[in-house]
Homo-oligomer: A and B are copies of this chain.
Amino acid sequence: MLESRIRHTGLRSRVVTAEEAQQWIQDGMTIGVSGFTKSGDAKAVLQALVNRVRETGEQLSINLYSGASLGETDALLAMHHVVARRLPYQSDSVLRKQINLGGVGYTDQHLSHTAELIRSGYLGEIDLAIIEATCITEDGGIVPTTSVGNSPIFVEKAKRVIVEINETIPEAFEGVHDIYQPESRPNRSPIPITQVRDRIGTTYIPCDPDKIVGIVFTRLQDTPSNIVEPDAETERMAGYILDFLSHEVRYGRLPQNLAPLQSGVGSVSNAVLSGLATAPFENLEIYTEVMQDAVFELFDAGKVSFASACSFSLSKRMVERVTSSISQYKDKMILRPQEISNHPEVVRRLGVIAMNTALEVDIYGNVNSTHVSGTRMMNGIGGSGDFARNAGLTIFVTKSVAKDGRISSVVPFVTHVDHTEHDVDVLVTEQGIADLRGLTPRERAKAIIQNLAHPCYRDELLDYFKRASARGGHTPHLLEEALSWHQRFAETGDMRKAQPQLVHEHAL
Contact = CB atoms under 8 A, between A and B. Distances in A.
A237 B13 CA distance: 57
Given A190-B345, A351-B185, A483-B479, A422 B381 contact: yes
A121 interface: yes
A383 to B, nearest CB: 12
Interface string A191-208: 110100000000000000
Contacts of A486: 479
Contacts of A417: 366, 417, 420
Number of copies: 2
A245 B477 CA distance: 39
A472 B349 contact: no
Interface string A389-410: 1101000000000000000000
B390 A344 contact: yes
Contact of A422 (B108, B194, B252, B345): B108
Interface string A94-114: 000001111001111110010
Given A102-B442, A186-B350, A438-B123, A474 B376 contact: yes
A349 B190 contact: yes
A345 B188 CA distance: 11
Nearest to A373: B479
Interface in A343-368: 343-345, 348-351, 366
Contacts of A392: 116, 120, 185
Contacts of A194: 187-190
A228 interface: no
A19 interface: no
A500 interface: no
A297 B107 CA distance: 40
Contact of A348 (B344, B351, B490): B344
A280 interface: no
Nearest to A468: B375
A371 interface: yes
Given A124-B438, A474-B376, A477-B374, A186 B351 contact: yes
A123 B440 CA distance: 12
A148 B117 CA distance: 33
A117 B182 CA distance: 28
Contacts of A468: 375
Contacts of A85: 440
Size class of the contact patch on chain A: 35 or more
Looking at chain A's contact residues, is the secondary structure mostly helix, strand, loop, or mixed? loop
Contacts of A479: 373-375, 415, 483, 486-487, 490
Nearest to A482: B483
A416 interface: yes
A101 B422 contact: no
Contact of A102 (B105, B259, B472): B472
Q: Name the residue among A191, A366, A392 with the largest chain B CB count within 10 angstroms.
A: A392
A473 interface: yes
A443 interface: yes
A223 to B, nearest CB: 23
A390 B117 CA distance: 12
A366 B417 CA distance: 9
Interface in A322-346: 343-345
Interface in A49-78: none
A183 to B, nearest CB: 9
Given A344-B390, A392-B185, A375 B474 contact: yes
A35 interface: no
A467 interface: no
Interface string A244-271: 0000000111010001000000000000
Contacts of A371: 473-475
A468 B473 CA distance: 30
A185 B121 contact: no
Contacts of A110: 389, 422-423
A127 interface: no
Contacts of A480: 483, 487
Interface string A417-449: 110111101000000000001111011000000
A469 interface: yes
B474 A99 contact: yes
22 contacts: A85-B440, A100-B473, A107-B438, A108-B421, A108-B422, A110-B423, A116-B392, A117-B437, A121-B251, A121-B252, A122-B253, A122-B425, A122-B437, A124-B438, A188-B194, A344-B348, A345-B345, A373-B477, A373-B479, A374-B475, A374-B477, A385-B389
State the 4 A-B residue pairs at the shortest beta-carbon distance, nearest first: A190-B190, A375-B473, A377-B474, A417-B417
